[in-house]
Structures are given as structure tokens and as C-alpha cells.
Amino acid sequence: MTDRYLSVDQVAELLGTTARFPRRLIEERRIRYVKVGRHVRIPESAVVEFIQSRTVEPLRRPRSRWGRAA
């Protein structure tokens, strides 16, 4: 077991959001989590997967030989 388990506040800090956002992800079951008694912990790998699955790559358009028209 090498995965680090993060609290809701730690995940919020990592994502740059308030604690409300990770709590909503948990409530809507959009992210994996573990219940330890009354505490909720989110595996670090689940946060990485969440970010990767929502990353939007830029479109790569072929550049015109002459550039943009004025």
C-alpha cells in the first residue's frame, strides 16, 4: 500500500478550491474515496485520475505557410 490518503481539506488545497468542491465530488460519487470510521479519505491516485480525466488538450491546427491574413 503505497498510496497516500488525503483529507478533504488537503484535496481542496491541492486542487485550489474550497473544501465544498471535494465534498460534492464525494457526494456525487465522481471520485474514489475511503471511509475510515466517520472520516473520509481520498487516495492521491484518485485525485490524479480525476485531474487527468478532465484535462483538455489544445487543438493543434496546421499553420498556414503565409501566416494570418490581415
Q: Where are the domains of the chain?
A: 5-53
What's the pLDDT at 14? 96
Helix, coil or strand: residue 67: coil
String of DSSP letters for 31-66: S--EEETTEEEEEHHHHHHHHHHT--PPP-PPPPTT
Whether the CB-CB separation of 31 and 47 falls below 8 Å is answered with: yes
Profile the chain (70 residues) by mean pLDDT over runs of 10 residues.
91 97 97 96 97 92 68
What's the pLDDT at 12? 98
What's the pLDDT at 2? 80
